[in-house]
Amino acid sequence: MDVIDDSRCPSDVECVWEGTVSLVINIRYNSQDLGNFILNSSNLHKASFMGYYVKLKVLEPYPISTEIIPKSSYHATFRIAEYGPD
């Protein structure tokens, strides 16, 4: 996983727009590399493969205006599910 953009509104600031986060993930299925996919905090962006999808649910830590988040500190939670009713 590689975070390529984190424009989320810091938790200690009031923003007009909440911002977004984008990241690149690599998907492997049964030892087969299915490639890199870009996900973002919008529910519209999902990685699709073999009847499944992966969606970004949470990316932590949440930004604070006075701190820079090292890329190695990010932890993501994903939803992996078969296509069908959400």
Q: What are the boundaries of each domain within the chain?
A: 2-82
Distance, CA of 58 to CA of 81 (rounded, Å):
16
CB 63 within 8 A of CB 69: yes
Higher pLDDT, 50 or 9: 9
pLDDT digits (tens, 9 = 90+) for 6-49: 999 999 999 998 899 999 999 998 899 999 999 988 766 678 88
- Please give the average per-residue pLDDT across 49-54, as a whole number: 86
The pair phi, psi for residue 54, each rounded to 5°, is -120, 130
Nearest to 39 by CA among 63, 3, 70, 71: 3
- Please give the average per-residue pLDDT across 51-64, as a whole number: 91
The pLDDT value given to residue 63: 95
